[in-house]
A and B are shown apart, each in its own frame.
Chain A
């Protein structure tokens, strides 16, 4: 096709919704017919505005939704720092600030909204800010460094978030709200009062029902004067008095706009001009603009669908919200304010505990219409689903909100009830996943995506899974095996608390029987994590899986593979030669592994000590390829060679691999370190992944390859070397203590109530005060590490088992034979046991003595 037959689609605004639109357009093939040109006024590519406040902790890079700065699809052009000044629908062009004009076939407005700054005198003085972009936050941070008192004008959701930010920046913080209560859009009066009390406890000063008369100051703000005449002196003002859709381009082009602002769109997001579309916060559907990101994402998908001539329609969105504001749970859903005719309120309030719950019920008392929860929002998931599915209320609806009811006793949601509204997953979908074999809520999340976005439906998902099992007469049995009626985490604590050192003590006190191939290795792993003794110590070796018992990986024909550690994948030519010589001399198959090291296959039990003697003498250590332990820390070449590298990723990978080598854990552990955001080490596919930034390192956790791949999520950003190591120490020890057997970090994080946020609380914010203890546990591991293989070849007692036969130590097992493929050995298929025939065993057998 000749290029000028292609059409051009222009997107104005590269915010969250504009970005989502482009992603969907590329995914669904719109770029097959259109060249897509994206014009964004901000200097940065789209970033996670919802998480804006975490900028102070994690920095700008971590918030980016397009870290590489550009789309991979060459048919998409992204122009940042480019403001569209005018739109001409007649000539189908937009013009930029510098006069350049760009023609379009289709135009998508995704210009978002702008903070509303009330026109009070002094609103434009120095020291007055809004809270919308990363630049805004940078400016606030700089001003706060020179200030002691700040005020936020506006006590809504965003205002409280901004107030919390000022408080964290060390300012004495005031909040001014014209309405008689905080968060008036979401909560009712009584809920607002309880919220106010929570907020005041944190040391914020709240002024409600107060109008601002004037901001004081000559050049820079010095104070605020209220309508009553009272003046509070201060140095920083943040306006957070609501937002206004950025609909100027549409207005000036003569497109229809809604009464209260916003570009008017139909059910397919088309404006009054057939070639102009509007999505996100700048759009008004049926006169209404949505200040949340989820409806914007839905609009983006539907607009792409419409451009592909699909039939999808936007029918409005659920405005239910649940959030943790300043540590307080606040949720509102459905008709929270009871505006439906004849509706009845049902209220539970406990001012001392700081809990307020209200249900809005239909006039006939049969349906739940909406509600407000403050201080305890655990029932949110069920209640929201009850509203959307219009199921009948139970006889005593008050039961739904009495304390300690985490949902709805006696209420059964119908199959079609939408449990996860972010991803439109119904109860039926969830039960289907369980029928299909999912045994845990975490598995259901992976299979159905329920709970994978905002996470607020997770308790509900868990309950449905448990109820389902209960209805089948199955108790979800969390026992390790028939010998221990507890989970691995519980066992870990039992061992720690009692200070047990042997399997015998543990099974006698807390188990039954003599254990099995499930619990014995678990006990071995727990003892190893706590005591770090040798895995082949006399009372330990019979607990180990064969891989640990022979410090090598068993293969299909009963031989073993040998994997020496090559920290960070860096190796000298001399050492490479040694590996080659050992492989050649013992006739082993060699292969480069996916973990940046070399695997030598086909070693017989009795050969392992001699092979390792050679390797240890050359300076190699065990690579623990056999253990539920640290495997590798993969590295990219980093700043020492690579022209893009900003930190020495190889040095860091080596340091981390050496630090955590030998660490026994619930499942294997892998790490990665990349020297820049290009991420050549695939660190985000690892349990802990480190990516260099200009200022230090970003730490990602919970990545996984394997059957259920997961990208690691950002835990903390811009750490220096010491902070990075401290965070990984804590993260790994927390995992080791609390994860289940064979649970990788990604499923472990999913299984925690609160997920990654919980991990961050414990690891970064040290909410449980466990930080030092976890670091000390890791320090003990590091201090007591010895190379398992070196210790083994030096100890005749440990070597005793490395024989082919107890009565013929060096006679090869006749069942092992090799063929050859591509010039190397391969196991030969077995057709049944092979006998060696009568052999003379000589006189050296140590038997017959009493």
Chain B
């Protein structure tokens, strides 16, 4: 937080927690989705997203410069679509929320700059918020106020984290994360070595449905006893990816046809087994009753069913936002905005920067 606040013409509204809650516009541009959402309290009014994923397919991963160029092209049209869809008077906004990090620097600054222009023009408070917290907060748009404390599992191409959420605006602790690849990244890499399309998550999920998850026993990262001592709630998918690569390589070398569906099912089982086991363990260890899942991989059918099964048998309540809200979007950032306003936190200074490595414990910059 900067000591010298530059907030020309900013009116900080205090009387915002009415029957309907704060009205917030949220902007997201941390990776390959340009998102603008408008939220009133726990109600979603608009959620427009423009994705540049198609432009990254031939690279097999997000190229930062390609993503940044796409953000610039999509930013204002997406903003205009969201404003038209929500049909609210922008002068009634209680604040502008924007992803301040973590994410790709060149991508983040496009959304941040647009948000600052909006806040300055409208004379509204600016809230630079944490992208990861957005994946948690978005659930309140589907299921109402968050039950806290809860354990949140965030899984996507860029995140694999276990968070302990005491208070969504002020008290978030990372209790575990991947020490190498993110889960979604492992899906992309395995898809590539099986000559499947990018992104890998949806296609592996689809093929896995036709395969045998017990066909091949792939390793479960960081689950051995000596690993659990230091990495009880951490994840590792690099070894799994290598194991799949070696297995496929051996089959090909020996002239056998690779049973793609079985490889997909067995790989997916290994990922979901570890994710769900550690999530349930974390909830029980921290004595919380609620588990929440977010991020693009939360749409995965096996992860969902296995987590439902295991949370139910452990007596835990599971919450998951609809798949359309699990991937990156502006509504999730607006949702964080409503929470920090309700908590009475001070708006961000107009001279904040983007922080590509913003720690999850920093909800508001």
Instruction: Please determine whether chains A and B interact with each other in the same assembly.
Output: no
Which residues from chain A sit less than 8 Å from chain B, CB to CB?
Answer: none
